[in-house]
Amino acid sequence: MVSIRQGRVEDLFAIQHANLIDLPENYQMKYYLYHALSWPQLLYIAEDSNKKVVGYVLAKMEEEEEVRHGHITSLAVLRSHRKLGLATKLMNATHAAMEYVFGAEYCSLHVRVSNRAAYSLYSGKLTYEVVERETGYYADKEDAFYMKKMFELGSVVERETGYYADKEDAFYMKKMFELGVKKKAEREEAKRQRKLGNVDDQGKPLSLGQRVERQRHQQSKEGQQHAKLQKKLQEREKAQQEKMALEDGPTTTAQASPSPPSDDKAKTNQADGPDAAAPPAAAAAAPVDDDFLEDGDLDGGEGGAAKGSKKKKKGKGKGK
């Protein structure tokens, strides 16, 4: 039986031995000691029933950068204990420590391009994603994939400045339990299905006929709402037209009605007397007696008028 536990300083020699057997990237003892003393929460080992170290994970925190995150320095499992899921368990343990102890937002690592087994583990079960390919990263000039895993549950909500009595900052953290995450996903899916019209209000799936009937009802409802909206718009437009007509009415009347004469003009007419407003003399001439006119005098010219007046005088003379 193999168990996973947090590593201690006394385990460092066994960890170094497993590293020398299993990996081409080897480190001096002071490098292991530096990790164990700086980030003891991130050191985990796999131990068999004989208390033998058969696997380990060595990790650190990158705290100098803007985004707080962890980094996997080394991961190894002896060949005799592979295919047991030990690497996944070791990685999950250090992931949890990074997230809930140090408030990391993600974890990063490097893997050889030729190490297909490790790449499949990281990109598969552990959901790492390749960020870039770094040329000549290793000592033998082999390329490496730089990979990153985001902590989706997002334990760190915010950083509270000066939270403690000694004014040290604090991370306000939150954990979404797996059951809660599952239920939340189910609620979101049920909500989406209701929006599509595939389930009823209780979340039960609808038959094809029920979905068609619901779709028709929804279309009818939308049509009624559209008709109401059109009616409101027409009423509003009619009210605006009536308002504009009322505003334009008094102005038109005022322009059509004649303005009363001014006082000065009225006084002038009174001073001129009744003859001032009389029509022209030609239009107001007295009627001419037909007995004193001959046929040639009906031309209406000046000569005709003078001739007529002479004949009138002549007639008066004969009467005498």
pLDDT digits (tens, 9 = 90+) for 112-123: 999 999 999 999
As given in the structure block, the two tokens for residue 10 are 């006394």
Report the alpha-carbon distance of residue 91 to residue 27 in Å, rounded.
Answer: 20
Give the pLDDT of residue 155.
53
Give the pLDDT of residue 141.
93
Give the pLDDT of residue 283.
46
Residue type, 150: M
Going residue by residue through the chain (320 aa), what tens digit of pLDDT does each one get?
Answer: 889 999 999 999 999 999 999 888 899 999 999 999 999 999 999 999 999 999 999 999 987 767 889 999 999 999 999 889 999 999 999 999 998 888 888 999 999 999 999 999 999 999 999 999 999 999 999 999 999 999 865 555 566 788 888 887 776 666 555 555 566 677 777 777 766 667 766 667 777 777 777 778 778 888 888 888 888 889 988 888 888 888 876 555 445 455 555 555 555 555 455 454 445 544 444 454 444 444 444 444 444 444 444 444 444 444 44
Nearest to 14 by CA among 61, 57, 72, 53: 53
Q: pLDDT for 281-320, tens place per residue?
A: 444 444 544 444 444 444 444 444 444 444 444 444 444 4
User: Position of tokens 């209000």?
Assistant: 201
Give the pLDDT of residue 72.
96
User: Position of tokens 């082999």?
Assistant: 142
Q: pLDDT for 62-100, tens place per residue?
A: 877 678 899 999 999 999 998 899 999 999 999 999 988
What Rg, from alpha-carbon coordinates, does the chain have? 55
Residue type, 188: E
49, 62, 72, 151, 282 from 108: Cα distances, Å: 32, 10, 6, 11, 118
**This model's pTM is above 0.75:** no
H or E segment and range at residue 134: strand 129-134
H or E segment and range at residue 231: helix 208-256
Give the pLDDT of residue 320.
41
Report the alpha-carbon distance of residue 289 to residue 307 in Å, rounded.
Answer: 14
Residue type, 24: P
Report the alpha-carbon distance of residue 90 to residue 98 in Å, rounded.
Answer: 13
Report the alpha-carbon distance of residue 87 to residue 75 in Å, rounded.
Answer: 7
Give the pLDDT of residue 193.
72
H or E segment and range at residue 58: strand 53-62
Give the pLDDT of residue 189.
77
90: left (phi over 0), alpha (psi -120 to 50) or beta: alpha
